[in-house]
Structure 1
Amino acid sequence: MQKLCSSSLWPVYGLDALRQLEHHLQSGSPRPLMQLAGLAAAQLALAIAPHAQRIWVAAGPGNNGGDGLEAALQLHQWGKQVLVSWMGSTAHTSPDVLLAWQRASAAGVALQSAVPEAWAKNMNDQDLCIDALLGLGANRALGPEMQACVQAIQKFPGQVLALDGPTGLNLENGQWMGSSDAQTVAVRADHTLTFIAAKPGLFMGHGRDACGHIWLDDLGHRANDSDVPPQAWLNAAYAPPVKSHASHKGSHGDVAVIGGEPMALRGMGMTGAAVLAATAALHAGAGRVILSLLSGQAIDHAPPDLMQRDWQRLDLEQLHVVCGCGGGEAIRARMPEVLQRSAQLALDADGLNAVADDPGLQNLLRQRAELKPTVITPHPLEAARLLKTSTAQVQSNRLQAAQNLATLFHCTVVLKGSGSVIAATGQTSRINTSGNGRLATGGTGDVLAGLVGARMAQGLGPFEAACCAVAQHGQLANNWPAELPLTASAMAQHLR
């Protein structure tokens, strides 16, 4: 068993692949996997709540509930007071779950069907609840009985350990099950123990908030023992490129940032977004950074380290271009040249919106392909516009949406959000695990775009540059002092 952290480069498997792995393991194991999972859960329970005297196991009717019954059996045999609320029926259950129920019952584990309201009054913050209601494959809204049990777990005074994943969370995509208000009846665990392999929903969407500390027990699975490929990998921490003593400013690439709609166009100037992206590229170590505002005019408040130049005077064929930040409507007229001429391109924000609205620009983006590397960095709404679908559809399968964009436009994609996804044709996607809610502030996406541009300028390929930038961007937020506000401008200046 091991704890999965934000620096883990770990394979992630979807439902179908996990079913194959489970079948492979069960056929080669001398002991039922449910018993192994229950033992692992009991061991972790003692580790995280060593002083617990009372342990409540909320067990669902399926295999997840069977894991909970096996955990209850072990804890009971180790001298703990254990009560199981089992929502199943011996007449309507699988042979493995029935065996787990029989073993627990024969050992004297207290079993009942109701939520233990009277018993729960004697529990305190040293005690433990094990959420074994629903696991892998659950994706429907919770019924009334399940909702009542989850609400009781929400009020539990001690720690909560979820098995496989917190009840109410879709382990495929990290979204709440059922309607948008399902969050009111979802478990927020302090710890989550997942079995066999990591699941994508634990690291995306609401999974980042619902799971607490994530632990993995592989139940004997070894990556080399199976030919089932992972759906994705967790994105590991990357060290920023180091400048050698013999290098000079020309050794680390030239980045041009094109964006910043002027106030005069629509009465809503957005030059700050372009300045943020350029500042990020500068502090991330690009050799030279050129700020090219769409007004064609220089501004006085830009950092003095930045060069400012009219976009028409840019030698795009020699530049790593970051385009779209604060571009507004003004960026549309520039897009054909940017797409056709830029040596390398990081396309963000209004640059993406312009492409989404124009089939001609979409064709130009596809034509760049491998000869002119491109990274696009959409948030879910921008991704939905590009894919001609809804934000909800994008969020329901973020891995697939990112891969669809990569295939459609022949580029590297950073689908931003909780658990940003990095995808490219011919690559196994990455799910980023660094970062936190403090990034939900205006301008942090512009900082990321500038950082991607800098990493490409420093010689990284588009996929590697995107992985590196996203990991570093999130880690900076993780390391930010709690007493200091996290703003995009401050973040850009703390890059390296």
Structure 2
Amino acid sequence: MRRIGSHHPEPLYSVEATRAIEHALTSALPPFALMTRAGTATAQLARSLAPHARRIWIACGPGNNGGDGLVAARHLHEARHTHPGAAEVVVTLCCTEPGRLPEDAARALAEALAAGVCIAHAPPDGADLVIDALLGIGARNAPSALIAEHLLQMHALACPVLAVDVPSGLMADTGVYLGPAPHTSNAPRHTLSLLTLKPGLFTADGRDLAGTVWFDPLEPHGSASPLPVAQLFGQDGGKPTSRSHATHKGSQGDVVVIGGQDITQSGAGMTGAAILAARAALHAGAGRVYVGLLGDHSDAVRWDPLCPELMFRRSGLLAQARDLMADATVVCGCGGGTAVADVLPVLLSSCVSLVLDADALNHLAEDPVLQTLMAQRQTRGVQTVITPHPLEAARLLGTGTREVMGDRLQAATALSLRFGVTCVLKGSGTVVAAPGQTPHINSSGNPALATAGTGDVLAGWIGSLLTQARRAGSDPLTAVLAAVFAHGHLADQWVAGSEETLTAHRLAMGIGSAGIR
């Protein structure tokens, strides 16, 4: 058993693949062995998480997930014989007909009763730890009345909660929660994922509900395991590359940021978005960063006093600079407003490395001509990255936000294939999908990033690492993953070390301070 962190990549498996592994192990092991291992591991982790607990409530459901909980209950109860100070165990069984339990779960119940485990009709008062063994990966519908009631009581408690395999009501493949109420308590949450790690634990509602994820394969799977449906990525992709002494600004690559519509254009000034993206690109290591603000700006921005290294040019001049467009990575759309529509055709036609964000994506979703130009990019072998949030992704797919959030992996993959791009679908557990590649889910980040401008910082960061990767001849997908992870990791470090609000400005100016680019 081990705790899942952000230091190593982890394969993530679908429910179908997990079932295949489970079936293979069940066929190879003696009857009841797999459930015994699962329940034993749950009991061990429970004792580790709450070594001084006086009372443990174990909520068991009507399936094999409940059977795992019953095995854990027996082990925790029997510990009282050898350790007088061990916790009292109280089990609630949400099953109207115990005689219809699956075979292994029925055996687990019989052994628990024979050992003297208390089976109660209602949760106990004063629990110091709750083990959630109500629903596992087989659940497909919203929890029923009694299970929903117990989930509501569980969410209201201030003590730690340990979920067996997946939090009850969470869809293991998608991270969608079907339970009666969202998790709002500040109590610690833990999940012991069994046999495989599931993608739903790390994206959408999964990160809030799963909390700290632990993993026990129960038995090595071997080389015959099914292919993972996604990959959890972390620190390995975020380490800065060393530079030779002969390095100069030209060898580190150029980034061109085009966006930041002037207030005179439509009454909505968004200059700051482009400036944030440019600052991020600069601090992430690009050799030179050019800024082309859209609109007049004649009496406004000529230079950035916080980053005087940024080089301002008229956006039209930048868009027509063929040598620069053929060599630099262009980040377009941050605060682009309506004005960005005029420059998108030439950028889509000429740029060899392009990051599209925000308003650039909204115009792409609405304009068939731009979509045709995007399709032509696929045939030229150029690099394109899009960075939508769920609403922008829904517009691009011609669907709703609910559908995007209903399966973030599928949505990111669909966008990647439709436009022939690397798609960075932002949100809790950002998904990165590229054609022909296994999708990736980011392990870093937190709600501190839920503030205006942090997406612009990410776009500039991606642009910077892409241009450096092109210069070094390294993999562009690795560069995108590194930027996404480092963006979230910097936010994690901020939350751990500061009580101040993490603004996008602070995020951009903090790039590189923690040894990560």
- Tell me the TM-score normalised to structure 1 length: 0.94
2:369 matched to 1:355? Answer: no
Q: Deviations over 1:161-216 (max 9, x none)?
A: 111122232222222206xx732799976211110111111111222122221100
2:314 matched to 1:313? Answer: no
For residues 78 and 109 of structure 1, what CA distance do their matches in structure 2 show?
11
Q: Deviations over 1:379-424 (max 9, x none)?
A: 0000000001110101110001100011101110100000000000
In structure 2, relative to structure 1, the CA distance for the partners of 1:188 and 1:407 (3 Å cut) is: farther
Tell me which of 107, 111, 132 is aligned to 2:115.
Answer: 107
Q: Secondary structure at the match of 2:246?
A: coil
Match in the other structure for 1:258: 258
For residues 183 and 256 of structure 1, what CA distance do their matches in structure 2 show?
42
Q: Is the 8 A contact 2:316 2:343 kept in 1?
A: no
Match in the other structure for 2:233: 235
RMSD: 1.8
Output aligned runs, 1:14-53, within 5 Å: 14-30=14-30, 32-53=33-54
Q: Is the 8 A contact 1:25 1:221 kept in 2?
A: no
Tell me which of 481, 492, 496 is aligned to 2:508.
Answer: 492
Q: Secondary structure at the match of 2:292?
A: strand
2:468 matched to 1:458? Answer: yes
For residues 187 and 171 of structure 1, what CA distance do their matches in structure 2 show?
23
What is the Cα deviation at residue 454 of structure 1? 0.2
Match in the other structure for 2:384: 374
Output aligned runs, 1:197-216, within 5 Å: 197-216=196-215
Match in the other structure for 1:152: 153
For residues 187 and 11 of structure 1, what CA distance do their matches in structure 2 show?
29
For residues 367 and 264 of structure 2, what CA distance do their matches in structure 1 show?
24
Q: Percent identity?
A: 47
Match in the other structure for 2:6: 6
Counterpart of 2:149 in structure 1: which amino acid?
A
In structure 2, relative to structure 1, the CA distance for the partners of 1:85 and 1:463 (3 Å cut) is: same
Q: Secondary structure at the match of 1:405?
A: helix
What is the Cα deviation at residue 355 of structure 1? 0.5
Match in the other structure for 1:221: 220
| Larger mean Cα displacement after TM superposition, 429-438 or 138-147 | 138-147
What is the Cα deviation at residue 493 of structure 1? 1.2
For residues 149 and 189 of structure 1, what CA distance do their matches in structure 2 show?
18
Tell me which of 480, 487, 497 is aligned to 1:473.
Answer: 487
2:88 matched to 1:81? Answer: yes
In structure 2, relative to structure 1, the CA distance for the partners of 1:188 and 1:207 (3 Å cut) is: farther
Counterpart of 1:494 in structure 2: which amino acid?
G
2:438 matched to 1:428? Answer: yes
For residues 189 and 293 of structure 1, what CA distance do their matches in structure 2 show?
46
For residues 32 and 189 of structure 1, what CA distance do their matches in structure 2 show?
30
For residues 271 and 155 of structure 2, what CA distance do their matches in structure 1 show?
46
Q: Deviations over 1:59-114 (max 9, x none)?
A: 000111011011111111211422211112232221111111111112221123x2
2:277 matched to 1:277? Answer: yes
Q: Is the 8 A contact 1:297 1:310 kept in 2?
A: no
In structure 2, relative to structure 1, the CA distance for the partners of 1:426 and 1:184 (3 Å cut) is: closer
Match in the other structure for 2:181: 182
In structure 1, the gaps of 5 or more residues are: none
| Larger mean Cα displacement after TM superposition, 441-450 or 238-247 | 238-247
| Larger mean Cα displacement after TM superposition, 193-202 or 20-29 | 20-29
Q: Is the 8 A contact 1:13 1:232 kept in 2?
A: yes
For residues 81 and 474 of structure 1, what CA distance do their matches in structure 2 show?
41
For residues 156 and 492 of structure 1, what CA distance do their matches in structure 2 show?
38
Q: Is the 8 A contact 2:159 2:187 kept in 1?
A: no
Q: Secondary structure at the match of 1:318?
A: coil
Match in the other structure for 2:499: 483
What is the Cα deviation at residue 32 of structure 1? 2.4
Q: Deviations over 1:410-456 (max 9, x none)?
A: 11010000000000011111100101000000000000000000001
Output aligned runs, 1:383-422, within 5 Å: 383-422=393-432
Q: Is the 8 A contact 2:66 2:134 kept in 1?
A: yes
Q: Secondary structure at the match of 1:192?
A: strand
In structure 2, the gaps of 5 or more residues are: 81-86, 513-517
Q: Deviations over 1:252-298 (max 9, x none)?
A: 10110011111111101111100110110001010000001112646
Match in the other structure for 2:83: none
For residues 140 and 484 of structure 2, what CA distance do their matches in structure 1 show?
29
Match in the other structure for 2:173: 172
For residues 183 and 230 of structure 2, what CA distance do their matches in structure 1 show?
30
The count of residues paired between Structure 1 and Structure 2 equals: 486
Q: Deviations over 1:355-374 (max 9, x none)?
A: 10012211211221262101
In structure 2, relative to structure 1, the CA distance for the partners of 1:184 and 1:287 (3 Å cut) is: closer
In structure 2, relative to structure 1, the CA distance for the partners of 1:189 and 1:100 (3 Å cut) is: farther
